[in-house]
Amino acid sequence: MNFLEKRILDEGSVLPGNVLKVDKFLNHQLDISLLKQMGEEWKKRFQDAEVNKILTIEASGIGIACIAAEYFDVPVVFAKKSKSINIEGDVYMAEVESFTHKTVNRVIVSKRFLGPEDKVLIIDDFLANGCALKGLIQITEEAGAKVSGIGIAIEKGFQQGGKMIRDMGYRLESLAIVESMDPEKGVCTFR
Ligand code: 5GP
């Protein structure tokens, strides 16, 4: 069991609807030493990948991505949820269905911050059905940039996102892959 799996078992809780709550250390209160360990681990796993930018999505990806960026020594760009693209200028846009809120958000990245010269590591906290990742991949490729890799903190392996993204040929590194979750017993197992 690795450091993140142990933390999930010790402090995470399983909610109905296939939701894992990790707000003690990842989604509300942030444990910076844990985030540093995650950043170090992604750097190790992607040491041979070319990365000059990290892309994530607001809100919960931002903290994780910023700490990871210290290890890659690159800037972070986050896709913003936007109701009014008019004030944002020239943007790349994708529609992303939120797994936890069941709403569709329009997310945007300014064309000033992503382009054909970029080699992008996409970082996010969770991978469930893969909607958030699909949106970030779409924006990266529309910009003519390369997806060098994808780093996820917690993949829920019993949902379809991980298989879909790997089948599309992307290099996906999840630090913890949850195999099953039981809301009644409050336990989960890892792959
Ligand atoms: P997907 O787009 O892959 O279906 O879901 C990924 C997004 O939904 C993540 O950015 C994350 O914010 C949220 N999410 C998905 N599953 C969970 C979960 O079990 N717990 C929490 N806290 N967030 C989740």
Ligand 1 in contact with 130 (CB < 6 A)?
Answer: yes
Nearest-atom number in ligand 1 for the CA of 21 is: 22
User: Could you tell me the distance, in angstroms and rounded to a whole number, from the CA of residue 128 to the centre of ligand 1?
Assistant: 6
Tell me the average pLDDT across 25-31: 97
Checking DSSP bridges between strand 146-156 and strand 119-127, what pairing results, if any? parallel
126 Cβ inside 6 Å of ligand 1? yes
pLDDT band at 184 (very low <50, low <70, confident <90, very high): confident
- Here the tokens at position 43 are 């750097």
Q: Does the beta carbon of 132 lie inside 6 Å of ligand 1?
A: yes
**In angstroms, what is the span from residue 83 Cα to ligand 1's centroid?**
21
Cis preceding-peptide flag for 59 (omega within 30 of 0): yes
pTM: 0.96
What's the confidence (pLDDT) of residue 99? Answer: 82
Distance 118 CA to ligand 1 centre (A): 26
Tens of pLDDT along 111-140? 999 999 999 999 999 999 999 999 999 999
Ligand 1 mean position, distance from CA 105 (Å): 14
Considering only the C-alpha atoms of the chain, give the largest distance between any 2 of them, rounded to a whole number of Å. Answer: 49
* 128 CA closest ligand 1 atom index: 3
Closest CA to 57 of 71, 77, 43, 30: 77
